[in-house]
Amino acid sequence: MSAARASAAAGAIASAARGGLPRHVAIIMDGNGRWAKKRLLPRVAGHRAGVDAVRKVVRAAGEIGVEALTLYAFSSENWRRPQSEIADLMGLLRRYLLAELEELAQGGVQLRILGDLGRFDPELREMIEGAVARTASNEGMILAVALNYGAQDELVEAARALATDAAAGRIEPAAIDASAMEARLSTAGLPPLDLMIRTSGEKRLSNFLLWQAAYAELIFVDTLWPDFDRTALEAALADYARRERRYGGL
């Protein structure tokens, strides 16, 4: 996409109405399996097509001017899937990093990981950590990828950290507030979540960014994730821009 078109798209969305352009967008990427089933293909074909959609949406979000994009790539519950499918997903993650890291680095994208990498193969974990280190000083869009992530676990860990600090006298219990909690979440340092999108027609959060989504706008679309592209993203951003966010006020 040309710089002129990217600027025009961002301007059209930003000027559409009240909400403007969201700083932080999160996406629950759902529907790879159904996409493949509709085409009589194996599930891995849907996951491969889903990776292509990730590539397109990451590029589009950066060009439009989104500050942070968070993608729900692999939940802590996904370990319950068949081992063959997990192996396929891990292989696709490796290939994505190998194919896209250079473009992310050169494009100024900063990669962050939400979740616990402890269950990942050491070689893959080293690859992920290397990609994070390679892009750490970038000052463009933040791409946060949730891997082995679950919001309830995140909240438990944050509460445990606060309890440990309080027991050690590093913080007074009365001083524990929303800011103290947010500082111990994996999203610390990211802009507040403005918009959460879920593809495939499902209408639930599935243990994703439960704290962060407290005042986020929610958009559920029927599009299966492999079919979600720049046009679909721009439509969601335009929907967001038309909304009036009152945060409980008038």
> Is 75 known to sit in a ligand binding site?
yes
> Is 204 known to sit in a ligand binding site?
yes
CA–CA separation, 227 and 49 (whole Å): 8
CA–CA separation, 230 and 57 (whole Å): 6
> Is 225 known to sit in a ligand binding site?
no
C-alpha dihedral sign at 222, 85, 149, 152: positive
CA–CA separation, 227 and 120 (whole Å): 28
> Is 24 known to sit in a ligand binding site?
no
> Is 206 known to sit in a ligand binding site?
yes
3-state helix, strand, coil in the chain (%, to 5): 55, 15, 35
> Is 76 known to sit in a ligand binding site?
yes
> Is 95 known to sit in a ligand binding site?
no
> Is 30 known to sit in a ligand binding site?
yes
Angle, alpha carbons 191-193-199 (nearest 5°): 135
Task: Give the residue numbers annotated as catalytic, written as ranges.
Answer: 30, 78
> Is 139 known to sit in a ligand binding site?
no
Distance between alpha carbon 156 and the CA centroid of its chain, in Å?
A: 20
| Alpha-carbon distances, residue 36 vs 31, 50, 152, 189 (angstroms) | 9, 10, 30, 37
> Is 31 known to sit in a ligand binding site?
yes
> Is 47 known to sit in a ligand binding site?
yes
CA atoms in the 13 A half-sphere facing the CB of 33? 5
CA–CA separation, 66 and 140 (whole Å): 9
Label the pairing between strands 110-114 and 195-198. Answer: unpaired
> Is 43 known to sit in a ligand binding site?
yes
Binding residues for substrate: 31-35, 43, 47, 75-77, 79, 81, 198, 204-206
Annotated binding site for Mg(2+): which residue ranges? Answer: 30, 217
Please state the residue numbers annotated as binding site: 30-35, 43, 47, 75-77, 79, 81, 198, 204-206, 217
